[in-house]
Amino acid sequence: MSRLGAGLVLAGALGVSGCGGASPTAPTGPAGPKPGGSITGRYLLELQPAPTCTPSMPAVSFPVRAAQAGASPYPGVQILLDGIEPASLEVELKYAETTVEGGFGTTAEGIASNQGPRVWVNAIGTGQVTQVSDGRGEVASGSLRGYLEIEGMDACTATNHSFRLRPQ
């Protein structure tokens, strides 16, 4: 048999051995977080000043509680400080499919962060909501544009502050 003939026989044998063997695997979806999820319950809200703020400050965080608010035509979520004076921090976010957008605000007294410094915010935030293992939503990385002041930092108005909202 010639080399060409032997090659065709071998190729045919390999092709036949693949038939009827193991079943094909189903295609899998893209890896990563699943979009959506309901923002409700206890969360940790983290605010990160823009890199242009001076002096540069690390992120600050607060324990908060989230509850569904509103329905038609604009469902949303209300987030309040978890503690003695819940209304000293209020976040009102409107759902637009898997994105939330809305206002972040503190009273004139500001609020103490978990890290100690007091914080004042008056800004608009936007972020993608993704599901965590228990089905609740989180915002792993949101943008915050407006006024943010952390005790020890100059007041800073910027379009590139950021926030995170993580279930607890």
Q: Does some domain include residue 24?
A: no
Burial degree of 118 (CB within 10 A; 0-12, 13-18, 19+)? middle
Q: Does some domain include residue 120?
A: yes
Of the two residues 1 and 114, the one the predictor is more confident about is 114
pLDDT in tens, 143-155: 999 999 999 999 9
Question: Which position has the token pair 């000043």?
Answer: 49
Q: Does some domain include residue 15?
A: no
Q: Does some domain include residue 36?
A: no
pLDDT score at 25: 55
The pLDDT of 94-113, averaged and rounded, is 96
Q: Comparing 24-28, 123-127, 158-162, which segment has the lowest mean pLDDT?
A: 24-28
Confidence of residue 9 (pLDDT cuts 50, 70, 90): very low
Share of the chain above pLDDT 70, in %: 82
Q: Does some domain include residue 26?
A: no
Confidence of residue 139 (pLDDT cuts 50, 70, 90): very high
Q: Does some domain include residue 30?
A: no
* HEC letters along the chain: CCHHHHHHHHHHHHHHHCCCCCCCCCCCCCCCCCECCECCEEEEEEEECCCCCCCCCCCEEEEEEEEEECCCCCCEEEEEECCCCHHHEEEEEEEECCEEEEEEEECCCCEECCCCCEEEEEEEEEEECEECCCCEEEEEEEEEEEEEEECCCCCEEEEEEEEEEEEC
Q: What's the domain count of the chain?
A: 1
pLDDT score at 166: 98
Q: Which domain holds residue 163?
A: 41-167
Q: Is the pLDDT of residue 3 over 70?
A: no
pTM, full prediction: 0.80
Q: Does some domain include residue 12?
A: no
Q: Does some domain include residue 147?
A: yes
